[in-house]
Amino acid sequence: MKLVAIVGTNADFSYNRILLQYMKWHFRMAADIEILEVKQLPPFNEDLPDSEQTEVWRFNTKINNADGVIIATPEYDHSIPAALKSGLEWLSFNRDTMKEKPVMIVGVSYGTQGTSRAQQQLRQMLLSPDLNSDVLPGNEVLIGNAAKVFDKNGFVTDINIVHNLETSFTAFNKFVKSNMRYLERGDDNMTEPHISSDAKIQFRTGSLSIKEIQQIFNTLPFEIDFIDANDEFSYFSDKPNREHVRHTAEIGEPVQQCHPPKVWPIVKSIFDSFKLGTQDHVERCLPLNGHKVWINYFAVRDENGKYLGTMEFTGNVGHLVTLVKEGKFDGFPEGADATTGASKHDDAEPEQPAGPAMNAQADATTGASEHSDEDEDKTE
């Protein structure tokens, strides 16, 4: 189970941050918890240019890809901090990031009431139409006297608080899994196919079962994404260690939400060129996650040329660069082709490309891949 935990303050030191770090460690066998900081976000401003919203995009993406959210809020003047309020506004502005997302609320304060008023206010906000979250009912984590609760290593020293945390987290674990089963039943976009995985699909060149098609896509050395004709993200291959991490929660979303604001104008121009028919293929090379990554966009069309969507192939090609540097492709006799040479006759005429492709100096399909470093966001 993948969870994100939001530190609801921009303070450099916070017992609420320490609480989430403790929960991340204490419940490590039950869930993978990633801690997010609202202080990384700019103050909410609906007029902020997209080019300055990269951190907002990252924040939303991590939450969107999580199975559930834990929010730790301090209490300032009987209310949640302004930084948390601003962060929640980013989560609801032109987005449905928190819609039906399971949420657990916790809080630590120096006083004895343990952020009870702030948590009540936060519940009301999360249940509002704009956020529309599924907030864990019937459980409260209200930790007071913060300075006495944690030791110097960040461990909780009060066994009753530990028991309360464990009881509440167990309830949240079941709450999240119940939500996940709800999605798997087919009441949302993530409908399980009501077709046997062994059912065969007949193609002109042969037939494959649904299971075979799925595993072929997942076995290819490139990860595959498909964006339909309406610019909605509709499929990704379920490969481990993907360069572009995807989540089923993104299925059906506008593809714009799957790209950092800096990168979206570049990607949109590619889609537009495919729709206009001016290009069928664009490739890009860039460093990503410390790897040499090769990205290929292909326009998918029907037999009449109608645009059906875009197939994106992404792969780490660092090992190929290494093979070239080590001379693995060198040393073959001139004219030899290790895979096809035996099938060619000595007197056969070399094949000639047809149409505009005969101009070897022109590459009309890849020209749009030229770009400057300033256009790149290395975390696409």
pLDDT digits (tens, 9 = 90+) for 135-144: 999 899 999 9
Task: Please indicate whether the domains covering 2-187 and 207-330+353-375 agree at the CATH topology level.
Answer: no
Q: Give the range among 47-61, 143-157, 354-368 with minimum mean pLDDT.
A: 354-368
- Give me the chain's average pLDDT, please: 82
Higher-pLDDT residue of 361 and 205 is 205
- What is the pLDDT, as a whole number, of residue 1? 87
| Vertex 132: Cα angle to 131 and 133 (nearest 5) | 95
pLDDT at 363 over 90: no
Q: 378 pLDDT band (50/70/90 cuts)?
A: very low
High-pLDDT (> 90) share of the chain, %: 44
Confirm or reject CATH 3.40.50.2300 for domain 2-187, answering yes or no. no
Ranges 151-165, 170-184, 362-376: which has the least confidence? 362-376
Q: What are 46-99's pLDDT values in tens digits?
A: 888 877 888 998 899 999 889 999 999 999 989 999 999 999 999 989 888 899
Does residue 157 carry a pLDDT above 80?
A: yes
Report phi then psi at 267, rounded to 5. Answer: -65, -40
| Structure confidence by residue, pLDDT tens digits, 223-274 | 999 999 999 999 998 877 788 788 777 888 888 887 778 888 888 999 998 8
At 339 the pLDDT is: 52
Whether 348 shows a pLDDT value over 50: the answer reads no
Residue 336 is predicted with a pLDDT of 56
The per-residue pLDDT for 183 is: 54
Higher pLDDT: 365 or 98? It is 98
Residue 350: pLDDT over 50: no
Report the pLDDT value the prediction gives residue 356, as an integer from 0 to 100: 40
pLDDT category at 349 given cuts 50, 70, 90 is: very low
Give the whole-angstrom CA distance, residue 164 versus residue 144: 13
Q: 128 vs 303, which has greater pLDDT?
A: 128
Q: How far apart are CA 140 and CA 161, in angstroms?
A: 11
pLDDT score of 44: 92
CATH number, domain 207-330+353-375, options 2.60.40.420, 3.40.50.300, 1.10.287.70, 3.30.450.20: 3.30.450.20
Q: Which residues contact 340 (CB under 8 A, 6 or more apart)?
A: none
Neighbouring residues of 234: CB distance < 8 A, sequence distance ≥ 6: 226, 227, 228, 251, 252, 309
Determine the pLDDT at residue 326.
86
Residues of the chain above pLDDT 70, percent: 83
Per-residue pLDDT tens digits for 321-347:
888 888 888 876 665 555 554 444 444
* Both structure tokens of 50: 């997209």
* Dist CA 73 CA 85 (whole Å): 10
Cβ(4)–Cβ(69) below 8 Å: yes
Instruction: With cut-offs at 50, 70 and 90, classify the pLDDT of residue 355.
Output: very low
Please determine, for residue 33, whether its predicted confidence score (pLDDT) is greater than 90: yes
Phi-psi region of 289 (alpha: psi -120 to 50; beta: other; left: phi over 0): left
How much is the pLDDT for 208? 92
Range 7-19 average pLDDT: 94
How high is the pLDDT of residue 195? 63
Return phi, psi of residue 61, to 5°. -65, -45
Chain-centroid distance of CA 138 in Å reads: 31
For residues 97-112, give the mean pLDDT: 92
Would you list the domain boundaries of the chain? Answer: 2-187, 207-330+353-375
Task: With beta carbons less than 8 A apart as the criterion, state whether 42 and 24 touch.
Answer: no
